[in-house]
Amino acid sequence: MTHFLDISNTETGDIRAMLDRAAAMKAARAGRPKGTPDDETPLAGRMVALIFEKPSTRTRISFDVGARQMGAETMVLSGADMQLGHGETIADTARVLSRYVDLIMIRTFEEDTLHEMAEYADVPVINGLTNQSHPCQIIADVMTYEEHRGPIADARVTWCGDGNNVFASFAHAAGRLGFDLTFSGPAQLDPEDAPMRFAAQAGRPVRIERDAATAVEGANLVVADTWVSMHDSQTARERRHNLLRPYQVNAALMAHAADDALFMHCLPAHREEEATSEVMDGPHSVIFDEAENRLHAQKAVMRWCLGV
């Protein structure tokens, strides 16, 4: 069974194959209406379940559209509407869904839920975000970097803000694809140990730099993310804002990056908080290419999982 659970447990060659296929599929569709199928429909006759225990715009729509472009039928399910939200075990849910569908994408809270779904499902499972990781986002981010600037290997990437789930997947990607990653944020919001250990063991230890301007100096890519994630309580909001204010990506901070640096944000953004509109809509920004590439990257992920 070929699950896509994390970048850390996906081989570099497989990630590279997905990136190449995503780019080729994007090129093949250039200018086509979004609702038309691809020339090749390798998912024809397949049923894809998209399960969301948390809100989503990009992940939900890009998986749904992508699966349909490849010929699949889809069903978008909310965890709360399923028995999953009313006490049925993940293991039983996985075994039942496997009798109906060919592929499961799940956005959930804890990584354990994702792993239990994968353990008991007889069909591939894709991680559509957990509290700990967001690998589909980072496949799209690497794709976006490479379509603008070429190979990401040895590029200097600086993350400004919270050491959250998206950062963790960036750390996994740094280890797998060999780029230099700097984390710049307050010590109270440092990344978890596991992704930092993974990058270090892969020979790409993440640099920690508390001063944002120093961290961004000469960077090829600057990344920001929301200061309050879906799983953070509202009571944490004010504390996080106070801690993270020095890490806002604004024009003054971007001026420290390389002249041709890119700016990314996985969205949704809180404009004028983690990044200013001047940067988000400015010449360095590729945020909407990044959002579009969720579609192409995930199509490649789905094909890889199904071996088609």
As annotated, the active-site residues are 107, 134, 137, 225, 266, 294
Cβ-Cβ contacts under 8 Å for 202 (sequence gap 6 or more): 174, 175, 176
Smallest gap from Cβ 66 to ligand CP, in A, equals 13
Helix H segments across 54-179? 58-69, 90-100, 111-120, 135-149, 165-177
Binding ligand CP (rule: CB under 6 A), the pick from 266, 295, 297, 302 is: 266
Smallest gap from Cβ 60 to ligand CP, in A, equals 6
**By CB under 6 A, residue 285 contacts ligand CP:** no
Alpha-carbon distances, residue 11 vs 14, 34, 146 (angstroms):
5, 31, 19
**By CB under 6 A, residue 165 contacts ligand CP:** no
CB-based burial label for 170 (10 Å; 0-12, 13-18, 19+): buried
Cβ-Cβ contacts under 8 Å for 61 (sequence gap 6 or more): none
**By CB under 6 A, residue 26 contacts ligand CP:** no
**By CB under 6 A, residue 56 contacts ligand CP:** yes
d(CA 188, CA 225): 16
Binding ligand CP (rule: CB under 6 A), the pick from 26, 46, 58, 172 is: 58
**By CB under 6 A, residue 215 contacts ligand CP:** no
Closer residue to ligand CP, CB minimum distance, 10 or 59: 59
Binding ligand CP (rule: CB under 6 A), the pick from 2, 9, 57, 188 is: 57
Closer residue to ligand CP, CB minimum distance, 267 or 308: 267
d(CA 223, CA 276): 13
Closer residue to ligand CP, CB minimum distance, 98 or 108: 108
Smallest gap from Cβ 51 to ligand CP, in A, equals 13
**Binding segment (CB under 6 A) for ligand CP, from list 177-185, 202-210, 263-271, 274-282:** 263-271
Closer residue to ligand CP, CB minimum distance, 56 or 293: 56
d(CA 5, CA 2): 9
- Contact, 105 vs 50, CB < 8 A? yes
**By CB under 6 A, residue 65 contacts ligand CP:** no
As given in the structure block, the two tokens for residue 215 are 């961290």
Q: 100-129 mask for ligand CP (x: CB under 6 A)?
A: -----------------------------x
Residues of this chain that bind ligand CP (CB under 6 A)? 56-59, 129, 137, 266-268
